[in-house]
Amino acid sequence: MSSRHDLAVVYQQMERPLEAIALHERALADRERVLGTDHPDTMISRYDLAVMYQHMERMDEAIALHERTLADRERVLGSDDLDTDLSRDELAVAYVDMGRAEEAAFLFEKVLMNREHFLGPDHPATLTARNNLGAAYQQMDRVDEAIALHERTLADRERVLGSAHPDTIRSRSDLGAAYGRIGRVEEAIALYERVLVDSERVLGVDDLDTLMTRHNLAFMYRSVGRAGEAFTLAERSLAECERVLGAEHTSTLAAKSNLAGTLRAIGRPLDAAELYEQTALDFERVSGADDPFTLAVRAYLGDTYRELGRPEDAVELSERTLVDRERVLGVSDLETIKSRQYLAMAYQQIGRTDEAIALFERTLDDRQRLLRTNHPDTAETRRSLADAYNSAGRTADAAALFP
């Protein structure tokens, strides 16, 4: 049994995941039969199989195994045991991957507390826990807390591990993402540009983190109007994701969506719509209709229909996506708020001005509360609401938005 498990780990390290999974599944069945479900070796097999399911994006199976393993380890080994803490950490990572950020943050807070107590504040595992908690907070739109954690972790990793360590590079990337989230785009770009150079040199051009950095930098370039640079980088990102990861990997599909957005930015909305339509179908087939990425692509497609002068299609898709995002993500999630903005613009285009104004007012309140008054998204909504007020003859209300 140990030999089979050890060989599975070797296959895992050799990036032969299907063979690794087959051996892990057999080793787990054998250990449950011979050693029992509560034996530490059985729980190791269950944990390793869950990690492989996670690697292959079989997330429901991964989470079910992680949840069972965590419960068993807490009961058998104790809440503070190192293996228990490892299960808690991996389950939290899986929750983040599935958009279950509040559950993830609860677990990461426990992991960080344990590691600071038992390992010390500068231990690499403690620094990883702090970085992971920042990522969960960011997904929960607790961006100020996320930035504070990411800034501290980056400074600590530079001091403890060095500026070129892979974990330090990842911290720099995560801080860039957080800066971008609150509109500090130039700072985000500066970080991503450095991360891309370091990732290519240290991790390699085909490493997943390198591929994602190129994708993220293209998105940031597009957000500040550097559309030509964004297009060049987005095209390369998609080609390399397809070559390294395959056409149906979720990171490849995200790169395809990013290229569609870049096509729209350079004045090719028809090409963008076609690529969004294809990507939406691909995401729904691979990840499901309620996956956050599926919903994001549908939202972008609906707004592209509006730009193309297809208001009925825009309204239908934007209404459906808003309902689904409110159900899946919650009414106050930033992506849900973005869908509300898109639907308001579609309503205004077809003359449903009162409904547009109601949505714009709600969106402005939400964005001012969550993003601050000077965030680019908040400014966009303020301009949109002013236009709608003017269309309705409410010129004084429009003027009051810009005191």
Four-point Cα dihedral 272, 275, 277, 278, nearest 10:
180
Q: Where are the domains of the chain?
A: 1-122, 268-403
Which pLDDT score, from 0 to 100, does residue 391 have? Answer: 95
Tokens of 173: 């990337």
CA distance 38 to 122: 33
Which pLDDT score, from 0 to 100, does residue 6 have? Answer: 72
Q: How far is CA 363 from CA 72, 140, 226, in A?
A: 45, 18, 27
Which pLDDT score, from 0 to 100, does residue 176 have? Answer: 97
Which pLDDT score, from 0 to 100, does residue 351 have? Answer: 96
CA distance 91 to 86: 9
pLDDT digits (tens, 9 = 90+) for 240-261: 999 999 999 999 999 999 999 9
HEC secondary structure over the chain: CHHHHHHHHHHHHCCCHHHHHHHHHHHHHHHHHHCCCCCHHHHHHHHHHHHHHHHCCCHHHHHHHHHHHHHHHHHHCCCCCHHHHHHHHHHHHHHHHCCCHHHHHHHHHHHHHHHHHHCCCCCHHHHHHHHHHHHHHHHCCCHHHHHHHHHHHHHHHHHHCCCCCHHHHHHHHHHHHHHHHCCCHHHHHHHHHHHHHHHHHHCCCCCHHHHHHHHHHHHHHHHCCCHHHHHHHHHHHHHHHHHHHCCCCHHHHHHHHHHHHHHHHCCCHHHHHHHHHHHHHHHHHHHCCCCHHHHHHHHHHHHHHHHCCCHHHHHHHHHHHHHHHHHHCCCCCHHHHHHHHHHHHHHHHCCCHHHHHHHHHHHHHHHHHHHCCCCHHHHHHHHHHHHHHHHCCCHHHHHHCCC
Q: 171-181 burial by CB neighbour count: b if 16+ within 10 A, else e?
A: bbbbbbbbbbb
Which pLDDT score, from 0 to 100, does residue 1 have? Answer: 55
CA distance 389 to 356: 10
CATH 1.25.40.10 fits 268-403, yes or no: yes
Which pLDDT score, from 0 to 100, does residue 97 have? Answer: 87
Q: What's the residue count for the chain? A: 403
Which of the four CATH numbers 1.10.760.10, 1.25.40.10, 1.10.1040.10, 3.30.450.150 does domain 1-122 have? 1.25.40.10
Tokens of 27: 């080793």
* Regions in the chain scoring below 50 on pLDDT: none
**Within 10 Å of residue 157's Cβ, how many Cβ atoms?**
25
- Decide: 126 and 115 in contact? Cβ < 8 Å: yes
Tell me whether domains 1-122 and 268-403 share a fold.
yes
Four-point Cα dihedral 201, 207, 209, 212, nearest 10:
110
- Decide: 173 and 131 in contact? Cβ < 8 Å: no
In 3D space, the residue among 150, 134, 123 whose CA is nearest the CA of residue 92 turns out to be 134
Tokens of 162: 């060095």
